[in-house]
Structure 1
Amino acid sequence: MGKDEDAQVSGPEAAVDYRAVFASLSSPKLVLSPDLVVLDANDAFLASVRRPASAVLGRHVLEAFPARPDREEGSAAEIESLQRVARTGRLEVLGPHRYDVLEHGGGDRWEERWWIVTNVPVLDSAGHVTHLVQRAEDVTDIVAVAQGPAPCPAVPVVEEVPAVVEHAMAVSSSLERFGAAFERERAAAIELQDSLLTPPPQVPGLTIGVRYRPAAREVRVGGDWYDAFRTPDGATVVVVGDVTGHDISAAAHMGQLRGTLRAVAYAQDAGPGPALDLADRTALGLHLDATGTVLVARLGEPDGTGARAVTWSSAGHPPPLLRRADGTTALLEGRTGALLGFGFGAPRPEHTTTLHPGDVLLLYTDGLVERRGVRLRESLTALAATVAQLPAGGADELLDGVLSALVPHGADDDVAILAVCVQDPAGR
């Protein structure tokens, strides 16, 4: 592809022509669909295999680059690697391996070629493999030098090409070390979260259910939490929050902020707004360096009918959702306050409504509703519609239904979700 003469770069906001970048890369690159159809090939790849784009694009990889009938080991290994990457979403390095190339326009003449390939998955926001990118490094000359004048064996003997093997093993070893370190960090973050996300209390007249789902993408874990506890005056406080960040540091900050908010709300017996303000001042004063969104709701004791007043306050968090006993839903929207950690000082507003027996209050973090390319308002409307369509049931049944409907395969962000179901005076 030639350079677009009309394109002008006027600043950092100028669009990048990724097709032109891809075409100009010096190392051979191939783009495939998950079912191994060739979607694109850069100039370096086409030059390496000595084929025009018309002979490659839109064809299955084995049709575009057929396997030599008497040497199918290399092609089989490559196809198996691509299929594994498409299935697991994990990068693989393969080689050195022999994959001879049929000379274009040369009948049945084959050219001996040796390759090291890196097969890389391209994931969408839900963690599904949408494309595969293959980087191919032609190491035929290196193999020829390493092997000397002896004829090439029918089955590659990698011990005879020590320089190439050493390179491949070094790459594989680095990937394994990176993967092991990553898995240790992820496991530590999840273990820390599990230790903090304690079961909700048993409260007469209420059923409280909680769920936590780590992100589908393994690199995102850390900052979401839920909490529920009773105060000295008998009220029940429920909380969901989302600390900025997605790593073990975010999990640690989450633990600090959660503990601070729980302590001030309990010790001061403060309402949701003042509790958020106190937690904010405390976190800033102790230099916790944690920012995030939080929603706090406080349910009072029941009256003679089982109804309870609920007061909530939001620090930049999505609104709670109320499902009435008749199945109708409403987002409890109102003016929100500043995120925790910014210390703007203005009191956070509070809002109040009444929960009746059979009503369910749903609190959640943004991983449940935020989707790339979708307006938040549309996602919130979809959440309300989904909850309205779910069959009647308790808090746990509602949570399972919501997760199954909205994030059946996981989301791009962590999800913490909490439901409070108000029972009637008879305990139903």
Structure 2
Amino acid sequence: MAENDGGVVRTPSDVDGAVGPVDYHAVFSVLSAPKAVLAPDLTILDANESLLRTIDAPASAVVGRHYLDIFPANGPDRSAVDRIVLSLERVARTGRLEMIGPHRYDLRGPGGGWAERWWITTNLPVLDAAGRVTAVVHRAEDVTSVVRAGGVAIPGVGRTTGPADATALSVVDQALLLGSSVDRYADVITRERRASLALQDSVLTPPPRIPGLTIDVRYRPAVPEVHVGGDWYDAFVHPDGETTVVVGDVTGHDVAAAAHMGHLRGVLRSVAFATDAGPADALDTTERTAEGLGLQALSTVAVARIGTPGLTGRRAVRWASAGHVPPVVRRADGTARVLADRPSPMLGVGLGGPRTEHRTSLDPGDTLLLYTDGLVERRDRSLRDVLTELPRRVEALGDLAPDQLLDALLAELVPLGSQDDVALVMVHVDGNHERTSAGA
């Protein structure tokens, strides 16, 4: 295991003297494209040599100052800086990568005048083990020569900057072969990424606020730079006051999987709400509906319906699974267990229902946890072993408040990120648990 010593990562081989420490600040300094590391409030924490050379300023004039102090709006496209700042703020808030460009931001030339410059900007979140944004890496790629030579369409300008002749195409083709994002398709890529994120944002909506229940959700993608995939969560209230929560996992973690996920989630939500079907019937009807509509999506899904409270505050729970990993219940006394079920087919394999509906209950202070397999699947361990261990890991987090449980669980089970997407839904029944904890 590597050790971190003030930004210098030392590997085990350092003990033998075979490999020296890796100074990541030095690595950052020599990277070719201009880069800056910003705090969530957009204070500049560090800048590499390329950025300092580009703006002709020493580090002492940049570090510790707000982004707008170093890059004020100027030139013909004054809105470019506003777009960048809004993007930085979104990335700091949501933890999702964003790309902007090409956009124009002129710099001072050797003679003191303004020199036309075009850029593609990428803002990347730096996350801690709990998934919180601790910093934003701001990367700018100078694409002025490509814009001038290749006839790239510039958003908002309504023109191209030159003929798309064979020479220009050769420049673009070379850039593509080198894996560069700096090419004539950068704007198309950016638009596609934004559309993908908008699709997922429209699906992964905040849970409803329900008196007596605390519902919390999390989504962590397997590929941070994409931030779209096939996992989803859902929660909604029925007219009779009961609550349905869902987690699902469509095969894949790319834009196509996100699209299939959105379709399937919509069908399941509509079926469960409109027909007032229980969890097992909702899954069976969703499969038949999806097949009839030609929706080709292989997916595991878990559905739970939580009833309204009785005289003691107890709520009946009905739940069903379509090939999904089983839910976990943590009781008010801190004990936890996996809700075992008989295997049932995933949606989309054509085996049909009827699926089995299971029953349990939640008392005040109890918590129900639904999750996707990215939380528990490991390449070096069997799923059975990890599921056997899971209740103990949940019990170890028993002293945490409900709103801290999911972040702590992610930090505990996938501290370095998962090989698959992870979606989680927690339903906590408010009441005695909080009073007992306060008096303990």
Same fold judged by TM-score > 0.5? yes
| Cα distance in 2, alignment partners of residues 220 and 211 from structure 1 | 13
1:321 equivalent in alignment to 2:328: yes
1:200 equivalent in alignment to 2:204: no
For residue 176 of structure 1, what is the aligned residue in structure 2?
Answer: 180
- C-alpha spacing 1:282/1:170, structure 2 compared with 1 (3 Å): closer
Asked if the contact 1:236/1:299 (under 8 Å) is kept, the reply is yes
- Larger Rg: 1 or 2? 1
Deviations 1:251-284 (A, max 9, x none): 0110100000000000100000000001000000
1:240 equivalent in alignment to 2:244: no
| Cα distance in 2, alignment partners of residues 425 and 383 from structure 1 | 24
Asked if the contact 2:365/2:432 (under 8 Å) is kept, the reply is no
For residue 267 of structure 2, what is the aligned residue in structure 1?
Answer: 260
Task: Return the TM-score normalized by structure 1.
Answer: 0.59
Q: Residue type matched to 2:309 in 1?
A: P
For residue 385 of structure 1, what is the aligned residue in structure 2?
Answer: 392
Deviation at 1:188, TM superposition (A): 3.8
Unaligned residue ranges in structure 2 (runs of 5+): 1-8, 21-25, 33-128, 130-168, 436-440
CA RMSD of aligned residues (A): 3.5
Q: Residue type matched to 1:272 in 2?
A: P
Q: Spell out the pairing of 1:206-245 with structure 2 (5 A cutoff).
A: 206-216=213-223, 218=225, 221-245=228-252
Asked if the contact 1:223/1:250 (under 8 Å) is kept, the reply is yes
Between 1:235-244 and 1:207-216, the stretch displaced more is 207-216
| Cα distance in 2, alignment partners of residues 252 and 196 from structure 1 | 10
Deviation at 1:344, TM superposition (A): 1.7
Indicate the SS of the match to 1:256.
helix
Deviations 1:342-374 (A, max 9, x none): 232220101101111100000001111111121
1:404 equivalent in alignment to 2:404: no
| Cα distance in 1, alignment partners of residues 434 and 277 from structure 2 | 28
1:418 equivalent in alignment to 2:437: no
Aligned residue among 318, 343, 356 for 1:349: 356
| Cα distance in 1, alignment partners of residues 402 and 327 from structure 2 | 14
- C-alpha spacing 1:278/1:171, structure 2 compared with 1 (3 Å): same
Deviations 1:372-394 (A, max 9, x none): 12100122133222110014344
Indicate the SS of the match to 2:290.
helix
Deviation at 1:221, TM superposition (A): 3.6
Between 1:285-294 and 1:195-204, the stretch displaced more is 195-204
| Cα distance in 1, alignment partners of residues 236 and 222 from structure 2 | 26
| Cα distance in 1, alignment partners of residues 393 and 11 from structure 2 | 36
Count of aligned pairs: 281
- Identity, % of aligned positions: 56
| Cα distance in 1, alignment partners of residues 362 and 397 from structure 2 | 19
| Cα distance in 2, alignment partners of residues 338 and 210 from structure 1 | 25
Q: Residue type matched to 2:325 in 1?
A: P
| Cα distance in 2, alignment partners of residues 298 and 234 from structure 1 | 11
Q: Spell out the pairing of 1:118-197 with structure 2 (5 A cutoff).
A: 171-174=174-177, 175-177=179-181, 185-197=192-204
| Cα distance in 1, alignment partners of residues 295 and 411 from structure 2 | 36
